[in-house]
Structure 1
Amino acid sequence: MKQGSSARAAATTLDQAIDDSRRGAEIDGDSPPRRGRSVSEAVVSQSVAMFDAVAILSAGAIAMSWDRSAVDWRLEGLIVLLGTLLASHLLRLAGAHRFANLADVGSSVGRALLGWLLTLAVLFAATYVLEPVTAADGPWVMLWFSLGVVALIVSRSLLSRQMRSWSRAGRLGEVVAIVGAGSIAQRLLRHLNGTPTGPRIFGVYDDEFEHMPRRCMGHAILGSVDDLVEMARRNAIDTVIVALPPTSEHALVETLNKLSAIPVDVRLCPSEFALRLGTLEASHIGGHTFLNVIDRPLRDWRWIAKAIEDRLLAAAILLAISPALLVIAILVRLDSPGPILFRQKRHGFNNELIEMLKFRTMYHEMSDVKGEQLTRRDDPRITRIGAFLRRTSLDELPQFLNVLRGDMSIVGPRPHAPAAKAGALLYTEAVKHYDARHRVKPGITGWAQVNGWRGETNTLEQIRKRVEHDLYYIEHWSIALDLQIIARTIATGFTGRNAF
């Protein structure tokens, strides 16, 4: 099916497709729609492992403080430390940290106690071999073991309740969409359907869907790849598996280009085409191996690290600049009538619209809420105070509130108004992969801004360079890069020839 025809069909079938995708989940148990971000198995498993280590170490410290024997406390401390390290390994070997075992409280507690019991057994055996361990043996060890048992049982019980809550919210299990309904996709779905621990299949997409049955191997065929891109922005899809035949090389390239604009992992079923993609890593989903062609920029611990960085820095900065915010608010109010803050809809993460905050810099009756007309030098709409605020970028300071709300990051691609243009073209028309910059939250400052690509976009080259820098930032994100951009913004980024 041609792209234009697909776009016309999407408008009338999108809502029905969502209902079909929910009704078509019989194989996956008809799981509820997801409410909230998907739970990362890696983060949960690693967090459990860290908690176990801290709990066992703390239990040992409490037991040591209770012991009144003449044994050197440093020797006891060494035993506690070595026992904690040993327990961490034995708990892992017993499967106590495996995500699949955490939902069943019986299995989870049993595996945790097995690992902890093996730890005690090894320490007990060491008392017959190592003299220092024998010297530190005593009732405090049993107290340590008992406290460890209590910590493991309580933590697993609470975690099991939390897992059930996540399950009710539809946040457990990887949600996968399949691109392709041919023989490769049918074989893949047949295998995934027969895998009890396989992913939840959201639906199947194929550009020829209008000429196909409504279902493929029991799963609803929901539309084209364009429909999938739109659906991924409205629903929680974690991974897209491209299962197109190797003869469809052009379709593969076009599909990957479209999927690069949304924040999902993209995996490719191995084929002759995969040999042309260079060095690739692999993922294992439902017992099958897929090639990694596109990864979400921020996932697991990287997403958590970025969120912590944003919240902590935003709170600290708002506290530090609160007097300046008050002074600017008073000046804006005295300079011209109207609200102090200017609120404008801008594209945020996953292309969703957010309400971005700024100090008002234009006369209220001339404000351009839709952002259809970019500012220019000596713009008559800008107030006297507004001109100063825009030159120094102080009008952007209220966006730290957006960061605390979770709408924005401190560092990221700048959010643009939906009607913003480069010359006569909308940004999405001017740059082919423009929407790929929405795979992360927008920022107050960014790599493009500190490299001089800010201000007017009168030419296509200006917006293309800005997007090029944004995509570089997304692909190379790190906390160190964020701190570098923040430092450069403080040093040089608040003023410049393109700020007006």
Structure 2
Amino acid sequence: MPGKARRGPFRPDLWLNTRQRNATRLRVFHFRVLDILGVTAATIVAVARLADGAPLSARLVDAAPLILGAVAVLSLLRSLGLYRFDKSHGFLSHLASVACVIAIGAALTFILGYALHGAMTPWGGYSRWSAGVLALLLAAHAAWSLLVADWRRKGALTPNIVVVGATRHAERLIQEALQRRDLNVLGVFDDRLARSPDAVEGVPVLGEADALLNHRLTPYVDRIVLAIDPKAESRVRDLTARLGALPIRLTLLIDPKTAEQRNAALEKLAQAPMAPLEGPVDPDRRAFNKRLQDVVLASIGLVLLSPFLLLIGLLVRLDSDGPALFRQRRHGFNQEEIVVWKFRTMRHAAADATASRQVTADDDRITRIGRFLRATSLDELPQLLNVIRGEMSLVGPRPHAIGMKTGAVESARLVAEYAHRHRIKPGMTGWAAIKGSRGPMHTAPEVRRRVQLDIDYIERQSFWLDLWIIAVTIPVLLGDRMSVR
């Protein structure tokens, strides 16, 4: 929880940052996988009964009607949006929709069965399959619906916004949000703080607009709403440019004239269905695929490399005093603070948790084994734990230490778009790493190049690009003997 001071009327029962709420929304993919497994199992059992207990020996004409029914049910559940669990559809209407889908699947099964078998159609087998699938999916979707309702009630699916501008627009938005209770307004910021009240409809004014750039609430914010007069074009442009540095969506609130328009505007902000399943370039599908890729590959890597990791840990302890692992606070998704694990490569007394002094060639702080681990990037392997925990990804912008400096200046202050790196989870390797931008950055141009490569990756990210980056990471790193890491 970001703190108890100056909390307004919107108090989530469950404080989750943006990454954690996104992970909750993506659980809809887990729901669908379980449905697929359940319907497939029911279909195999039904086919086995028709083939006297041997499903592999079943004839195609016997299995085809059941397979058609199963495919129809699963396809309709997805195409009709029954995995979105939209709050506008009630519990009973959702279950009724699921029952209708199963009825359609059963009807197709009976029709194809009769066309193939005529008077010999196994009506009893088809009826038992239909009843089994109906009972299974109604029970599953009842459980899913109750679970989603509980998440929504606790705020796990409720969007968090902050309002910029302590104006009459903000006042009306907050009044409506208080009545609806499907939108959390965490705070108000104003670029004209001297003229602002202490609170707007009970929501505290937390500082100037620029305070959002490093505020403790920022990792919890899903959207920034500019509640200022759109006619003030220069002010809108200025705020958009300044806040555009954040990895958070920015919305300009056009003052609605009627209650219906206000409700429509708030509905657009508050919509929080589960992640959609359709669409080849859907961002939620892409995020789920990336997470699945991370969990599978990181788990396999951790199991296979565990003896090697224990050996490295032992060598680190034998080489110098201090623990084998080094922890460092770094920025993650949406500027969330995460603790990143590495094998210790510096003398324990000289550890630099904030990277205030970047590593140089022949750095006297680095141990003998540490120099080898850095040269081969083996010191990063404990971050597999961060990947499994969901704080990092296998591929993404490298996480930088909070307060890291380039020369005497904090690196984040050298590039306006620096925070755009945080629009995706940080990675163990990434586009910048295989393009030669890795290790310490000693000049402003190096920072700008790193940020540009990271943004290029975010805009191009895909499942196959990630696999390619993972595949070429080891030969690229081992083939580069000139880089200081």
Matched, 1:78 2:93: no
Q: Given the superposition, is the C-alpha separation of residues 57 and 33 from structure 1 closer, same or farther in structure 2, using an over 3 Å criterion?
A: closer
Matched, 1:139 2:124: yes
Query: For 1:203 and 1:270, how far apart are their aligned partners in 2?
Result: 19
Matched, 1:253 2:237: yes
Unaligned runs of 5+ residues in structure 2 are 256-263, 271-280
CA RMSD in angstroms comes to 3.9
TM normalised by structure 2 equals 0.79
Equivalent residue for 1:364?
348
Matched letter for residue 294 of structure 2:
D
Q: Which of 366-375 and 97-106 deviates more?
A: 97-106
Equivalent residue for 2:465?
481
Equivalent residue for 1:112?
98
Equivalent residue for 2:411?
427
> Of 352, 355, 364, which residue of structure 2 is paired with 1:380?
364
Equivalent residue for 1:153?
138
Q: What aligned pairs does 1:47-446 form with structure 2 within 5 A after superposition?
A: 48=31, 51-52=34-35, 54-67=37-50, 73-88=59-74, 96-100=82-86, 104-121=90-107, 130=115, 135-182=120-167, 199-208=183-192, 210-213=194-197, 222-230=206-214, 233=217, 236-269=220-253, 286-288=266-268, 300-446=284-430
Matched, 1:490 2:480: no
Q: Given the superposition, is the C-alpha separation of residues 213 and 84 from structure 1 closer, same or farther in structure 2, using an over 3 Å criterion?
A: same
Cα offset, 1:487, TM superposition? 2.2
Query: For 1:43 and 1:341, how far apart are their aligned partners in 2?
Result: 32
Cα offset, 1:72, TM superposition? 7.4
Q: Which of 87-96 and 355-364 deviates more?
A: 87-96
Instruction: Report the secondary structure of 2:458's partner residue.
Output: helix
Cα offset, 1:348, TM superposition? 2.9
Instruction: Report the secondary structure of 1:398's partner residue.
Output: helix
Report if aligned partners of 1:96, 1:115 keep a CA contact under 8 Å in 2.
Answer: no
Matched letter for residue 87 of structure 1:
V
Matched letter for residue 310 of structure 1:
D
Matched letter for residue 100 of structure 1:
D
- Deviations along 1:257-280, whole A, 9 cap, x unmatched? 444444433334579xxxxxxxxx
Instruction: Report the secondary structure of 1:84's partner residue.
Output: helix
Cα offset, 1:490, TM superposition? 0.8
Q: Which of 310-319 and 223-232 deviates more?
A: 223-232
Matched letter for residue 64 of structure 1:
V
- Deviations along 1:446-492, whole A, 9 cap, x unmatched? 22222112234222111221122122222222222222222222112
Query: For 1:356 and 1:91, how far apart are their aligned partners in 2?
Result: 40
Instruction: Report the secondary structure of 2:86's partner residue.
Output: helix
Query: For 1:345 and 1:232, how far apart are their aligned partners in 2?
Result: 14
Query: For 1:482 and 1:416, how far apart are their aligned partners in 2?
Result: 20
Matched letter for residue 393 of structure 2:
S
Equivalent residue for 1:459?
443
Query: For 2:382 and 2:147, how far apart are their aligned partners in 1?
Result: 36
Query: For 1:362 and 1:353, how far apart are their aligned partners in 2?
Result: 23
Matched letter for residue 101 of structure 2:
G
Report if aligned partners of 1:180, 1:204 keep a CA contact under 8 Å in 2.
Answer: yes
Report if aligned partners of 1:298, 1:440 keep a CA contact under 8 Å in 2.
Answer: no
Matched letter for residue 350 of structure 2:
M
Q: Which of 32-41 and 366-375 deviates more?
A: 32-41
- Deviations along 1:113-167, whole A, 9 cap, x unmatched? 2332344456557788x46576535111110111022112211232133124313
Query: For 2:58 and 2:436, how far apart are their aligned partners in 1?
Result: 63
Percent of paired sites with the same residue: 33
Equivalent residue for 2:453?
469
Equivalent residue for 2:260?
none
Report if aligned partners of 1:91, 1:114 keep a CA contact under 8 Å in 2.
Answer: no
Q: Given the superposition, is the C-alpha separation of residues 456 and 108 from structure 1 closer, same or farther in structure 2, using an over 3 Å criterion?
A: closer
Matched letter for residue 79 of structure 1:
P
Report if aligned partners of 2:331, 2:401 keep a CA contact under 8 Å in 1.
Answer: yes
Equivalent residue for 2:275?
none
Matched letter for residue 459 of structure 2:
E
Query: For 1:61 and 1:259, how far apart are their aligned partners in 2?
Result: 55
Equivalent residue for 1:7?
none
Matched letter for residue 412 of structure 1:
G
- Deviations along 1:345-364, whole A, 9 cap, x unmatched? 33333334333333333333
Report if aligned partners of 2:358, 2:442 keep a CA contact under 8 Å in 1.
Answer: no
Q: Which of 242-251 and 162-171 deviates more?
A: 242-251
Q: Given the superposition, is the C-alpha separation of residues 490 and 113 from structure 1 closer, same or farther in structure 2, using an over 3 Å criterion?
A: same
Query: For 1:492 and 1:191, how far apart are their aligned partners in 2?
Result: 55
Unaligned runs of 5+ residues in structure 1 are 1-12, 272-283, 291-296
Query: For 1:465 and 1:447, how far apart are their aligned partners in 2?
Result: 12
Matched letter for residue 60 of structure 1:
T
Instruction: Report the secondary structure of 1:399's partner residue.
Output: helix
Query: For 1:221 and 1:403, how far apart are their aligned partners in 2?
Result: 36
